[in-house]
Amino acid sequence: MAEINHGKFDYIIVGAGSAGCVLANRLTQNPDVTVLLLEAGAKDDYHWIHIPVGYLYCINNPRTDWQFKTEALSGLNGRSLLYPRGRVLGGSSSINGMIYMRGQDQNYAEWARLTNDHAWDWERCLERFKQFEDYHGDANHWHSTGSEWTVSQQRLRWEILEEFKDAAIEAGIPQTNDFNRGNNWGVGYFDVNQRNGLRLNASKAFLKKASGRPNLRIITGALVKKLQVDLSTRTCSAVSFLSGGQQHVASVGHEALLCAGAIGSVQILERSGIGQGPLLQNMGIPVVSHLSGVGENLQDHLQLRMVYQVTGIKTLNTQIRSLFGKVQIGLQYLLNRSGPMSMAPSQLGAFAFSSAHYQLPNLQYHVQPLSLDKFGEDLHSFNAFTASVCNLQPSSRGSVHIVSADTHIPPRIDPNYLATAEDQQVALDAMRLTRKIVSQPSLKPYSPIEYKPGAHLVNDDELRHAAGEIGTTIFHPVGTCKMGSLSDPRAVLDSQMRVIGVKGLRVVDASAMPTITSGNTAAPTMMLAIRAAELLMS
């Protein structure tokens, strides 16, 4: 088959997700720079991407999702999970929960320590967050206005969420109206990335304007096979990809920028011969650069979804089951872009301590006025709410690796949840804290009954097994191509996100994070791209 040559570009960006869209926007602001942006998925013209509740129809949909699955996981009692990753312009920002969360200041202090680079200190990262932010309030030390990434208040309230918030306060968690000032302890409503009741994805925010620039070319449906590396100079020289049933190649002028995410970037590196030598050799892939950390250090937030049946108060479970309720929901959105169709998957949040052992909040709650047995199934027929709680800084580490050089075969994903005694203890303490919150006076009038995992489960062994039954991903995989100091044998990238031992190649996405941030990961991923743009444009 003849190979189609697209010529040379100064920068080739692989992946049009949260990081790739930011980079394409920033780099093409210089008219003298040429950029090729490759996205394996389609354009983001699927209507359910833009209606907030449409995430229900985007996850596990081949139109928008890679549809990965994990291995059977011992920490989850042998269960395998769906592992959604966006496959569309905008990447996972087109299917995620739309929550704007930076994490905690100490997350970035830890990055600075692990990379030996003060460019990752909190105050410097804060300035980068502000560079792409359009905050709903006034500009101040913490927030800025007028940039691309709109940060909005939610357009709905539920009485059951107000009562949970009051119960959390009664349990000792203070009220807050801003989780993004460095220490996110408190309970309040999440800010979301929406405009006028519509999802804002990275494509709309960053690519829409940039796509009209003559120095940017975007190719969708482009599945990258491998990076070509000139072995004489150890420099990334070209990117090979499949599109429209044909093979294509584009040459790299300055750098290739991998922005394919914590799963995708690993796959591309390993197919290119960059990774663990023995693993690659077993699949017949010539080893270009042996880096033992590629695909290791996988971190994710495991959420424990506790469900409580209530009486005497409305939830979405029963509203959506009647014709009148459905009509009401549709009219709310049609007329005001509000109501349940404008809902982010989680509306109320809280950050708390699982025990006095921790100096910063180590738990995050996502509270929802609905319940279901598992994602993709119908809501329960009774009124209930879900209080999902996750360990923000898990000590368990997993991995992701290809199992074949074939681009169409999915990788082996093993998040290795609850593998450490510390993570198991945090899970037990988190479930007990949830029970403490639900037992407070504000919720007592509604007679909450623990439907999942069940109030009869009390001792450590019972709760440990229950965590394995109700635990599921909250879609925050990071760390699989981590930055680190050159003395770290597992580092894949240096502190400037350059692949160690290969010139002209960076990884700029959530896989670069050495440790997971304490909260949702979309905004920190964009901040990484702002840092890469600084370095490339300086």
Number of C-beta neighbours around residue 46 at 10 A: 16
The b-or-e profile of 406-418 (16+ CB within 10 A means b, else e) is ebeebbebbbbbb
The DSSP line for 25-67 is HHHTTSTT--EEEEESSB-S--HHHHSGGGHHHHTT-TTTB--
Give residue for tokens 């959506």: 320
What is the residue whose two structure tokens read 């990809």? 241
Give dist(CA 46, CA 394) in Å, integer: 35
Question: Cα torsion at 308, 313, 317, 321 (round to 10°)?
Answer: 150
Tell which phi-psi region holds residue 226, choosing left (phi > 0), alpha (psi between -120 and 50) or beta: beta
Give the C-alpha separation, 295 to 277, whole Å.
12
Alpha-carbon distance of 101 to 121, in angstroms, equals 17
Cβ-Cβ contacts under 8 Å for 283 (sequence gap 6 or more): 402, 403, 404, 405
CA distances to 88, 193, 244 from 43, rounded to whole Å, are: 6, 20, 15
Could you give the maximum distance between any two Cα atoms of the chain, in Å? 73
CA distance 101 to 186: 14
From the candidates 143, 248, 301, 476, which is the catalytic residue? 476
Is residue 476 flagged as an active site residue? yes
In sequence order, which ranges of 76-220 are alpha helices (DSSP H)? 105-115, 122-131, 159-170, 202, 208-210
H and E: helices and strands count for the chain = 15, 24
Reading the block at residue 374, the tokens are 């598992």
Contact between residue 404 and residue 285 where contact means Cβ atoms under 8 Å apart = no
- What is the SS3 assignment for 494? coil
CA distance 23 to 11: 10
Note whether 222 and 242 are within 8 A (CB). yes
Burial string for 255-270 (b: 16+ CB within 10 Å, else e) reads: bbbbbbbbbbbbbbbb
Active site positions, annotated: 476
